[in-house]
Structure 1
């Protein structure tokens, strides 16, 4: 082969190698780009914003209070000689609790009886004198002045009889008051006095009896909450709130009886800015005890077409709340939202979302602003763990 032919062959081979390399390189770049594009689509799970009519409940922290809490005091003084109950017992109105030594009071009764008998006898004699002198006065046998003096004396002695009769009645009542009875149905506390203890009249607290059926549950609401309810009820608490209160106890279980509002304080507290309300709950099983805490739950309204999202779709950053929305072209968009009440495992959305939007519920941390998404849609039921 000539030198000229060899050069042509050499140039041809070089051209073919360059062309092939270019094809290979171009093919590799395209493949890499395609792989990168695939890798950039982040797999997430999302859910459509739920729209439904939703009952909105409002809760308050309440404390159980006795409707009647009576300090037991004696009207008379003396030593306790008998106890008919133990601390913590359930007692009933009129049930004997303590007996105070009544010997001196029985003596006072006997003395008062003797005094009234004596004064009654004196009055009887004077009344006879009055009758005699009145007959003599009719025949001018005695001056009218004498008759008037005896009539006046009889009136004074009659008044003395009435005073002595009142003293006797007081002595009888004092003796009766040595038996201390419960003024209400309820439960007696454990800080009762012991046998032999000396009690001073109207001074010594012998025990405290708290009524326990029904009971009050006391709670407070803010000024804004109060105004909202008052407006809803056209100047008073609406019936759906006032007469349909539920109680959730500290163990999370709902109390079986419905309560109703009985008392509303005369005004807002100067220190807390809240108003105190007392609701009455039946307590036939004596389950509720004074001092217990519970949540008072009231159905506020039924929100028509409320927007709900799962709690797991929400991220809290400082004082702001965010969700990640899937856009129409499957991109991630961080969105600040305003939330309302918790409804089960969902949040009520007040602002920031519309009914036709989708929010990410799984893979939120991977979905950065503007990133492409590979979306799997979930139904709301899929977020609720299956019951065993």
Structure 2
């Protein structure tokens, strides 16, 4: 081999050997531990609230029907507006009833005139009978005529009162404060007394929320009532609508039915709430929470920290060596966005609440950052391992 080629071959072999030694001396480094946010298990006193579903109902609801028959002359309100007790809503043609009243007044005047005449004749008969100027039979006849005339006056007065009442009933007025519905009978249509539905009026403030509870829950509440001496009004109620988060509306339980429905095994209850801003409308779906007991100590974690493995629930906690360890837990109810842990955690455990998706297996190293339990995601200062 020529000297030049031999030198190049030696140089290449030396370079390859140096590269192999370098790769053996400095192996490739692994990925750094992921950043996660941890929070200590929150221990505090909480009240037990039971969840139910219900419907909003008006305290007062009236189906408005006319008390006299006739053709509707006028619809005197705007459909859907709030009305007050005594406001005019419909007018039935009053002319036939005005004529009836006028006729009754005329009959009353005639009866009063006849009564005055019969009274005068009776008084004259009293003086004549004393001097025996008339017979006893004629005296009794005049006395009976006077009594009959007085009765006719009272009958005519009753007819006038009835005719005047019918005339008043031609003006259909709201019996309650509330919101009137659409007019089901419009101008020119015939309305039959006590039969034709004109409209409905429902009260607005306060409102009822009806819901049903199962037998076990009812028995638990009954036991609490016996122990604590509570009445229905002592149970606070919280209500939320389908478009709302949480239960922002406070009320009280004011009625519990007197028997359990044997077909469904449920008992109906009712809460009452103020409705000054008219947010509640009869018929709306409502979520109801009823306070079932006094305060008791409980451990709580953020809902976001709870994971699911088939039928089991678990969380990751950070140990002293900054590794993620799995712990199976038994969940309780939700309290203000946090979840009650019935078993599986210790009060001093630090739970991964943010970045839990970065943990791929138990024992994986992590870089924990301390946050408050239930706090929103935000940068935090890393803490040293204990």
TM range (shorter): 0.7 to 0.9
1:198 to 180, 184, 190: 190
Cα distance in 1, alignment partners of residues 109 and 194 from structure 2: 31
* CA deviation after TM superposition for structure 1 residue 344, in Å: 3.7
Q: Which residue of structure 1 lines up, in the alignment, with residue 218 of structure 2?
A: 226
- The verdict on how the C-alpha distance between 1:70 and 1:237 changes in structure 2, with shifts beyond 3 A counting, is same
Q: Which residue of structure 2 lines up, in the alignment, with residue 184 of structure 1?
A: 176
Task: Show structure 1 runs of 5+ residues with no match.
Answer: 1-27
Q: Which residue of structure 1 lines up, in the alignment, with residue 261 of structure 2?
A: 269
* CA deviation after TM superposition for structure 1 residue 332, in Å: 7.7
* CA deviation after TM superposition for structure 1 residue 197, in Å: 1.1
Where 1:196 maps in the other structure, the secondary structure is: coil
* CA deviation after TM superposition for structure 1 residue 280, in Å: 2.2
Cα distance in 2, alignment partners of residues 324 and 207 from structure 1: 61
Where 2:208 maps in the other structure, the secondary structure is: strand
- The verdict on how the C-alpha distance between 1:125 and 1:238 changes in structure 2, with shifts beyond 3 A counting, is closer
- The verdict on how the C-alpha distance between 1:278 and 1:128 changes in structure 2, with shifts beyond 3 A counting, is same
Cα distance in 1, alignment partners of residues 176 and 309 from structure 2: 55
Structure 2 residue 66 is the aligned partner of structure 1 residue 74: yes
Q: Which residue of structure 1 lines up, in the alignment, with residue 202 of structure 2?
A: 210
* CA deviation after TM superposition for structure 1 residue 212, in Å: 0.7
Q: Which residue of structure 1 lines up, in the alignment, with residue 19 of structure 2?
A: none
1:68-106 per-position Cα deviation (integer Å, ceiling 9, x unaligned)? 111111110001111211211211111111111111101
Matched length: 348
Alignment of 1:142-153 (within 5 A): 142-153=134-145
- The verdict on how the C-alpha distance between 1:334 and 1:61 changes in structure 2, with shifts beyond 3 A counting, is same
Task: Show structure 2 runs of 5+ residues with no match.
Answer: 1-23, 380-386
* CA deviation after TM superposition for structure 1 residue 52, in Å: 2.5
1:313-351 per-position Cα deviation (integer Å, ceiling 9, x unaligned)? 433345443445678899987654321112344310123
Contact 2:185 2:198 in 1 (8 A): yes
Contact 1:232 1:238 in 2 (8 A): no
Structure 2 residue 358 is the aligned partner of structure 1 residue 367: no
2:376 to 370, 382, 385: 385
- The verdict on how the C-alpha distance between 1:273 and 1:150 changes in structure 2, with shifts beyond 3 A counting, is same
Where 1:381 maps in the other structure, the secondary structure is: coil
Where 2:179 maps in the other structure, the secondary structure is: strand
TM-score normalised according to structure 2 size: 0.77
Cα distance in 2, alignment partners of residues 285 and 335 from structure 1: 47
Where 1:259 maps in the other structure, the secondary structure is: strand
Q: Which residue of structure 2 lines up, in the alignment, with residue 63 of structure 1?
A: 55
Cα distance in 2, alignment partners of residues 82 and 312 from structure 1: 61
* CA deviation after TM superposition for structure 1 residue 307, in Å: 1.3
Cα distance in 2, alignment partners of residues 85 and 66 from structure 1: 21
Larger radius of gyration: 1
CA RMSD of aligned residues (A): 3.5
Alignment of 1:213-292 (within 5 A): 213-233=205-225, 234-237=228-231, 241-242=235-236, 245-252=237-244, 258-292=250-284
Cα distance in 1, alignment partners of residues 253 and 334 from structure 2: 25
Contact 2:42 2:373 in 1 (8 A): no
2:163 to 152, 171, 176: 171
Structure 2 residue 78 is the aligned partner of structure 1 residue 86: yes
Cα distance in 1, alignment partners of residues 185 and 319 from structure 2: 75
Contact 2:35 2:369 in 1 (8 A): no
* CA deviation after TM superposition for structure 1 residue 199, in Å: 0.2
Where 1:337 maps in the other structure, the secondary structure is: strand
Bigger mean CA deviation after superposition, 79-88 or 334-343: 334-343
Cα distance in 1, alignment partners of residues 246 and 308 from structure 2: 30
Contact 1:44 1:363 in 2 (8 A): no
Cα distance in 2, alignment partners of residues 254 and 311 from structure 1: 14
Cα distance in 2, alignment partners of residues 298 and 346 from structure 1: 18
Q: Which residue of structure 1 lines up, in the alignment, with residue 89 of structure 2?
A: 97
